[in-house]
Amino acid sequence: MRLKKITWNKSNGLAVVFTVFGVLISQNAQAVLYDFNNGTGFDNMGIGGSMTVDQIKMTTVDIIGTDGTRSSDLGDTYHRTNIFSDSRPLSIRSSGESGNDAKDFQLNEAWVFNFDADVYLNEINFRGLGAGESMTLSTVSATSTNQVLVMTSTNESSTAGIWNLGDAFVDAGTSLMIQNTSEGSAVAIFSFTVEWATSGPVETINGTPYVWLDQFYEGLVTEEDYLIAEASDSDGDLLTAREEYVAGTVPTNATSVLKMDSISKISTNQVVSWQSVAGKYYRIIVRTNLTAVSTGWKTMKNNMLGLDGQTSVTSLWSTAASVFVKVGVEKRALYLLIGQSNMAGRAPIESEDEVPVAGCELFNSTNGWEVAANPLNQYSTIGKDISLQNLGPGYGFAQRLREVQPDIYLGLVVNARGGTSIYDWAKGADEGYYEAAVSRVREALKDGNSRFAGIIWHQGESNSGLTTSYLTRLSQLVADFRADFRDPDLPFVAGQLEQTTNERAVNEYILLLPTVSSNTAVATSENLTTIDGTHFDSASQRELGRRYADALLRLEE
């Protein structure tokens, strides 16, 4: 770890006077704000809780109580971080404390954490640091603790303020400890701001990594340089470097290209062969007429794992006298699942729900893909405590799609949050839920191996009495997603709320969505049951998911 020597003082209000010796200031770095005021991945969590912002993950390594005991020694539930509800800053809940209110840092209490990327420490925004009281930031290893900063307030009237950390550099994985070192103070943290220790972007706006382009092109310095390289066809094979990145081929070698090698007939079978790359998935589409609209391209086989050099597939069709064939890199059918608690999932995960969905992947907190397993909302960037994420409709949705289309290659981006209203989800709303969903989908599309196939939405419990105004806002939400992704026909399926125990006016207006927005559908909740009058039970969540899938499939007919 490399740190800069910093001296400072706080003289009035939020004004900070500080002197920095030997600081290497980051150039063009990306500022990352961990905001602890609105519930996060740290809600009521013990060690191991994490919060990801702009791809940088902050993880709780340990929590220390007033008596010096550590959760790592005594058990994860002994001391816990505490935000829990809206407008509660980060603080600590020690063993025996209860309730949902913030429990501030007391004397000797500490939070030990790290980042999964190299960062510069910018500033911390405290609450409750009175005159003469201090917090200490230290580095922690297995053998020693190294004091970095002692943050001591000198303003008798100030109980909160932003403390500049002078862009101190820390390596990824280095443990940092924030500890209350003052008698009588009770402190909480509103926010923590860091900067990526990087000289700028690491990929183009389309998702092509700079490091990949650097393997084949020299002298790339500016963002414009990389964009020009990405769009070039330097080997003359009619594929751009971006397209070669997606295909897994070499952009400077004309013989390394995704193309058909041959179509032949052996007895009554047809054999299609193409140049392929090991580990890539491919699909074959065909049509019998290149001009007639009614005979468009049809998927004959997909989700085919390629071999190194060449892949072949046999018996794609049998009835057509002649057929036109295309081969391409398989793309996940990517679906965005958003809404409030029923989409996040509140039903118990039963034994039959513990089996991962074959052929389906879940977009995770490191912006990668993993086998889709419950709870599907576990990586939501706006979700509540992980203990609240259980079985939602996404599981049955994916199962049903795979049942009807066994070769489909699915990807789920699940970004729901319980207790949210239709107003919270509006584009431009202060909560930023819409923007978070858009950001997650765009990140998921960056590898070039997915296509945005549709949205399923379940929300309304917070607005169950709304009528026309809900329909207006929901149709606007559909229009905003379609505009931002430049897809005027992006499929959108909304789900009804439960209707067996409560009369909910909004249900009738959800049903009207297809009358005001084209290419939309509704998953009905008729005869579905709940665990508490609001949240669907496990069997009903599985059935609701199937209804979402069936409604979506009808749009594709």
The DSSP-derived string for 182-228 is STT--BEEEEEEEEESSSS-SB-TTS-BHHHHHTT-S---SHHHHHH
Question: Span 305-334, mean pLDDT?
Answer: 80
The amino acid that residue 505 corresponds to is: A
Measured between alpha carbons, how far is 508 from 504 in angstroms, rounded to an integer? 8
Distances (CA, A) of 411 to 364, 403, 503: 11, 15, 35
Q: For the beta carbon of residue 142, count every other beta carbon within 10 angstroms.
A: 5
Question: Span 373-393, mean pLDDT?
Answer: 92
According to the model, what pLDDT value does residue 8 have? 28
Angle at 167 between CA 165 and CA 173, to 5 degrees: 95
**Between these two residues, 363 and 73, which has the higher pLDDT value?**
363
Q: Which long-range contacts (CB under 8 A, 24 or more apart) does 223-229 make?
A: none
Measured between alpha carbons, how far is 549 from 401 in angstroms, rounded to an integer? 6
Q: What percent of the chain has pLDDT over 70?
A: 84
Partner residues linked to 91 by β-bridges: 82
**Between these two residues, 471 and 119, which has the higher pLDDT value?**
471
Measured between alpha carbons, how far is 103 from 93 in angstroms, rounded to an integer? 5
CA 210 to chain CA centroid, Å, is 22
pLDDT at 440 over 80: yes
According to the model, what pLDDT value does residue 234 have? 93
According to the model, what pLDDT value does residue 4 have? 31
pLDDT, tens digit, 9 for 90 and up, residues 514-532: 999 999 999 999 999 999 9
Q: Model-level pTM greater than 0.75?
A: no
Rounded to the nearest integer, the mean pLDDT of the chain is: 82
Torsion sign (Cα): 37, 41, 46, 48: negative
In the numeric block, which tokens belong to residue 98? 């209860």
Measured between alpha carbons, how far is 301 from 311 in angstroms, rounded to an integer? 13
The amino acid that residue 322 corresponds to is: S
In the numeric block, which tokens belong to residue 289? 């007429």
According to the model, what pLDDT value does residue 473 have? 96
- Exposed/middle/buried for residue 96 (C-beta within 10 Å: 0-12, 13-18, 19+): exposed
Partner residues linked to 22 by β-bridges: none
Judge whether 363 and 411 are in contact, CB under 8 Å.
yes
Q: What dihedral angle (degrees, nearest 10) is formed by the CA atoms of 87, 89, 91, 97? A: 0
Measured between alpha carbons, how far is 18 from 4 in angstroms, rounded to an integer? 13
Judge whether 506 and 470 are in contact, CB under 8 Å.
yes
Distances (CA, A) of 196 to 19, 84, 233, 359, 480: 22, 27, 32, 35, 31
Distances (CA, A) of 386 to 289, 346, 381: 52, 11, 11
CA 153 to chain CA centroid, Å, is 38
**Between these two residues, 7 and 146, which has the higher pLDDT value?**
146
pLDDT at 98 over 80: no
Judge whether 404 and 434 are in contact, CB under 8 Å.
no
Residue 373 neighbours by CB under 8 Å, 6+ apart: 354, 356, 357, 362
Judge whether 451 and 461 are in contact, CB under 8 Å.
no
Judge whether 317 and 354 are in contact, CB under 8 Å.
no
Judge whether 250 and 216 are in contact, CB under 8 Å.
yes
pLDDT, tens digit, 9 for 90 and up, residues 19-31: 222 223 333 346 7
**Between these two residues, 156 and 524, which has the higher pLDDT value?**
524
According to the model, what pLDDT value does residue 519 have? 93
pLDDT at 331 over 50: yes
Half-sphere exposure of 116 (CA within 13 A, CB side): 14
Measured between alpha carbons, how far is 114 from 125 in angstroms, rounded to an integer? 18
Partner residues linked to 31 by β-bridges: 195
Q: How do beta strands 450-458 and 492-495 pair? A: parallel
Measured between alpha carbons, how far is 244 from 239 in angstroms, rounded to an integer? 6
Partner residues linked to 105 by β-bridges: 187
Question: 125-129, 212-216, 293-297: which range is least confident on average?
Answer: 293-297
- Rounded to a whole number of angstroms, the distance between the first and last alpha carbons of the chain is 58
Residue 51 neighbours by CB under 8 Å, 6+ apart: 34, 40, 41, 42, 57, 58
According to the model, what pLDDT value does residue 99 have? 59
